[in-house]
Structure 1
Amino acid sequence: MNRVEYIRREEKKYHDVCYENYKLFEEGSWLYKPVKTVMEQAPLLKDNKDIRVLDLGAGVGRNSIPIANELKHNAGKVVCVDLLSSAIEELSRYSKEYDVEEVIELEHSDSI
């Protein structure tokens, strides 16, 4: 196994454990709240129509879901890309739970 494969495997194990043991926006992990810098910029997107935001390494939606909330009334979209299928599956579930499913576009990609 080469170094990149090893790193990816270990990262997947770490994230899968996190996604299984912590709920999005629940206190106790880094999934608790979105990145401050991202959220400081989110209001700048609100008044734009048909805007597209790309979230690479979207995970389960810690940043994507709050951004989608800002865009949902202006026909915007958040394109969420992650290399972990478990993250995309959880993001799909959370997007329904937080009523932003129509704003979120999911892409599973493990291309380097």
Structure 2
Amino acid sequence: MNSHAEARHFTERTTAEQREIYERAKSPRVRSSKREVRNPLLALAGVAALRSLPIEVRQQLADAARAIQADARDRADKCWRKHKAPMAAYWKAVGVYAGHFARAIKDPNNG
């Protein structure tokens, strides 16, 4: 195969791959309804132990986690406005996991 034919073959293959990626992106995605997928903390043994605590203690922990979540979100927004993307991503993740934690320990039946 000469270089022109190779280039054309590569372009055709790439175009077909791009079309396939585009079609996959257009199709609706089905999200898992499994609790452990939506809240990965539920799969941890330590969280299972926390869920056995009295409801009053779990409520206090959940309230503290929600306060951490709100503070982390504020810090993420502040970092983003200051063009500090790595720290914004860090604080965003802290907020997400604080929310996961709050929901994981609040109700042992629902998570």
Shorter-chain TM-score tier: under 0.3
More strand by share: 1
Taking structure 1 as the reference length, the TM-score comes to 0.26
Using CA pairs under 8 Å that are at least 6 residues apart, name the structure with larger relative contact order, 1 or 2: 2
Structure with a larger share of its residues in helix? 2
**What TM-score, normalized to structure 2?**
0.26
